[in-house]
Amino acid sequence: MKKEEFLSQLKKEIETLSAKDVDDVINYYNELIQDRIENGENEEDVIVSLGSIDIIANNILEEKKNTTKVEVVNPEIVKEKDDNQKESKNWSTSKIILIILASPLLLVFLIIIFSLLITLLGVLFGLLVALISLIFTGIVGFIGSFVHMTISFPSGLIQLGLSLIIISLCVLLVNCACPFVFKLIKTGFLKIKNSFKKENK
Amino acid sequence: MNAQLKKGLIEVCVLAAIEKEPSYGYKIINDLKNIIDLSESTLYPILRRLEASNQLKTFTMDYNGRLRKYYQITDLGKNKIKEFKMEWQEMESIYNFIIRRENQ
């Protein structure tokens, strides 16, 4: 039998293992057979000396089974797991006590967050009002500039330009900033809503 | 030889074979050929076991246009050899005790 044949048959026999394990086995035998051939041994003889593929595959599968069994049965590990579980239980009770003791602090914390939120909303509202007034200024300035031009053409022209700049700035602001702000408010609102829902549950 | 005892002995032999410098499958088998009965298919699970228990680590290196896997001993593996040497003294005194009993 040739090396490739041996390896492909072995691969078939151990295909219940993970791909990584199969690769590892095949690489191992491939390397060893290659080493022996390069050291002057006959390919067919090398394969024969390795013994039956069935036995090789069985040994590998058996070993794999044993190692996983040992991991489960090993009493020390089981004990360690128990200890870990106990520890986690203790931790959770101490956590509850901590939460109760810290509740006044938590209340203050919530109030601070709430006031910060209100402040944020106030700032947003202020910005909105500023924007609206800016739009008004632009529009009124634009119309007024024609009246101004009849009195003094150059200064009226300046007013026209300035008011156009203001209007274009407003358009830019509304276009870029507004969707962003709305999204922010919407997601913020949804998050608060969801957290309240969770607390109620 | 008792299978359990032999298994432990082979493990220490493999560790000793890679103690001085990293080695590869073919060389390990050749180095141990005259000392202990070790075939390719017995070596494989031992290497896997030693790797799983962190007594050795592996790396691959290019050799003759193909990859060769090298096995390198770790501190844990070195400790295992030390442990074995200490255990051996205990074994020796047990052996001496048995022999003395027989001679009496």
Tell me which chain B residues have a C-beta less than 8 angstroms from the C-beta of A25. 44
**Phi and psi dihedrals of B65, rounded to 5?**
80, 10
Number of Cβ atoms within 10 Å of the Cβ of B84: 17
- Which residues from B are below 8 Å from A29, CB to CB? 40
User: Which candidate from A29, A35, A60 shows the least CB-CB separation from B45?
Assistant: A60
Q: What is the pLDDT of residue A80?
A: 52
- CB-based contacts of A99, cutoff 8 Å, min separation 6: A106
3-class secondary structure, A143 = helix
CA–CA separation, B50 vs B34, rounded Å? 22
User: Considering just the CA atoms, what is the radius of gyration of chain A in Å?
Assistant: 39
Sheet of B23-24: strand order equals: B23-24, B66-73, B56-63
Chain B residues whose CB is inside 8 A of the A56 CB are 41
Q: What is the pLDDT of residue B71?
A: 95
Once rounded to an integer, what is the mean pLDDT over residues B76-80? 94
| Cβ of residue B3 closer than 8 Å to a chain A Cβ | no
Tokens of A64: 């794999």
Reading the block at residue B103, the tokens are: 């001679």
pLDDT at A72: 45
Residue B3 reports pLDDT greater than 80: no
Cβ contacts of residue B62 below 8 Å, gap of 6+? B68
Residue B1 has pLDDT above 90, yes or no: no
Return d(Cα B72, Cα B47) in angstroms, integer.
Answer: 11
Do the chains contact at B48 and A59, CB–CB below 8 Å?
Answer: no
Out of B25, B40, B49, the one facing A50 most closely (by C-beta) is: B40
**Which residue among A35, A36, A56 places its CB closest to the CB of B41?**
A56
Say how many CA atoms lie within 13 Å of B31 toward its Cβ: 18
Compare all CA atoms of chain B with the CA of A67 and give the residue at the minimum distance. B49
Asked if B48 and A63 come within 8 Å (Cβ–Cβ), the reply is yes
Q: How confident is the model at residue B81, as a pLDDT?
A: 93
- Going through A31-164 in order, the beta strands assigned E by DSSP cover none
pLDDT of residue A28: 92
Contact call for B41 and A50, based on CB within 8 A: yes
Residues A3 and A43: beta-carbon distance below 8 Å: yes
pLDDT at B24: 93
| B46 → chain A, closest CA residue | A63
| pLDDT for residue A196 | 75
Structure ipTM: 0.85
Residues of chain A with pLDDT under 50: 71-78
State the nearest Cα–Cα gap between A80 and chain B, in angstroms. Answer: 18
Chain A neighbors of B45, CB-CB under 8 A: 59-60, 63
d(CA A57, CA A155): 97
Query: Two tokens at A199?
Result: 């607390």
Q: Are A53 and B35 in contact (CB under 8 A)?
A: no
DSSP A82-119: HHHHHHHHHHHHHHHHHHHHTHHHHHHHHHHHHHHHHH
What pLDDT does residue A113 have? 93
pTM value?
0.53
Q: Which whole number is the average pLDDT over B6-12?
A: 87
pLDDT, tens digit (0-9, with 9 covering 90-100), for B21-77: 999 999 999 999 888 888 888 899 899 999 999 999 999 998 888 889 999 999 999
Q: What pLDDT is recorded for position A102?
A: 77
A with B: how many residue pairs have Cβ under 8 Å apart?
46
Whether B94 has a pLDDT exceeding 80, the answer reads yes
- Give the pLDDT confidence score for residue B15 in this predicted structure: 94
User: What pLDDT was estimated at residue A73?
Assistant: 45
Please, which residues bridge with residue B73 across strands? Answer: B56
